[in-house]
Chains A and B, each alone.
Chain A
């Protein structure tokens, strides 16, 4: 079993009505629950918007950000178990935000062997 990271890109629409927000949340919960029951869900966290961008030698430059296009803001991530990238991609298609134009980056987590290379 390999580990994969789902990185969710795209901001949530801010003008949803309370009823639609609750409905939307229900879809996410159902999705996570399905992954969890199949032992595929490892972890996940949502991210607050905003934050800082640190760059330059010794982190000289600290700016507010990332203020890129709203669509590219990372809203959260999952770590999931899957056989291979194909299965991971299939699983990612369950993301309820895809219908609203969001994207999911599917990345494989590198395995670092404990044994010394020969």
Chain B
């Protein structure tokens, strides 16, 4: 493989040609990073959201081949997909669970950016477009489960349209313009919104929202995909009852990302205030956060007020989401009695959550700062990271075992489909994805080990005499002191020390990997500057 890549065959030439062409397009600003080792997914949750969006796009496009957005045929066509079309069950379940995953990952992404204060590094445009993207994502998911036109979908459409209607002055006109009149139009238009208007808006906003440096972590992407399929296998989504206007609907609860709003609606307070004004206020508050946050520092510990507001919002979201799900199980009571939430009790709880969350936040900050101070007093641990170092032989053995497992899983998935056990086969395919994630991780671990520079020396040799880094194989390594002065080093505010005169010494080993060429400084004053120099060396222009 390596050989063919180095030999510049026509395929490689073609790829290079394409790459050179792409360099002239808007994508030239984008830089993809494929991490060579495990990195925390918290940093690239946005990328994961996008990947799930792509999964939704593919499965959704396939579903479009069979779905019919017509009043009396919508539900039947979904049933057709689910029950008779081969792999329709799989596609539909992946689509459904991926929609939930996308909303969930988007929310996690937002809160991670919020608490880590990362909107300060990027800029406000990214945050604002992100919030709009989040709202559109929820609308996208909402319109999706409505066009099945089950009983629950009908009620959800009703609530959406009557909420639009409740907007003062322009409400009825807006409802007429966006939804048309009656359920025939509603289904058709929700479909149009779901497959075209909203995705196009999402894509357009993504162009603005994408930062230039993107992380594409294959194992994590495959793990998320696998988790979606696995969930689809364990909890396959049901069809619901076909909507029939002559049959009064039973109690239905919306999807989990809207039960919070549903709890507000169930207080039977004014429709516009509870269903439009409160969520609008919440979204507005999110939008203005980076403009309100005037703290100079990033960490949640250094921004107590903002953190407390975030914790309050989380607490309220969790409580209302649960409350929206909860319906008094006492069947002797009337439907209305079981559904209605006492507004005074409800709003009192909402208010009570504010001081509780603030107290919790300030307590946590205090504890965290104490822990930090204690950690500083303690002597530093040597080493720090403990990586699992598998010998090469065991990596190969593990690979073979996993490959055999993949073969076994493939066969079982196929037989599961043959025997009509659709959800079981989806479950197994989910496992296959997870195994692939594991395999890829092992592959990258192994190849990183092959390329890796020799284990780092924890104690530097005496600064006067630079020692070449020993290579793993006893190869003829000749240190070449070049002694050329470095260009002005990037300013390091953190260290404070001036890195004025440095000379680099390239230590080339016979292995051709770039990682093995490292630059050391022979500064005679301070060993800590080595770290700085090493950091800056990666940013130097090549000579």
Instruction: Specify whether A and B are partners.
Output: no
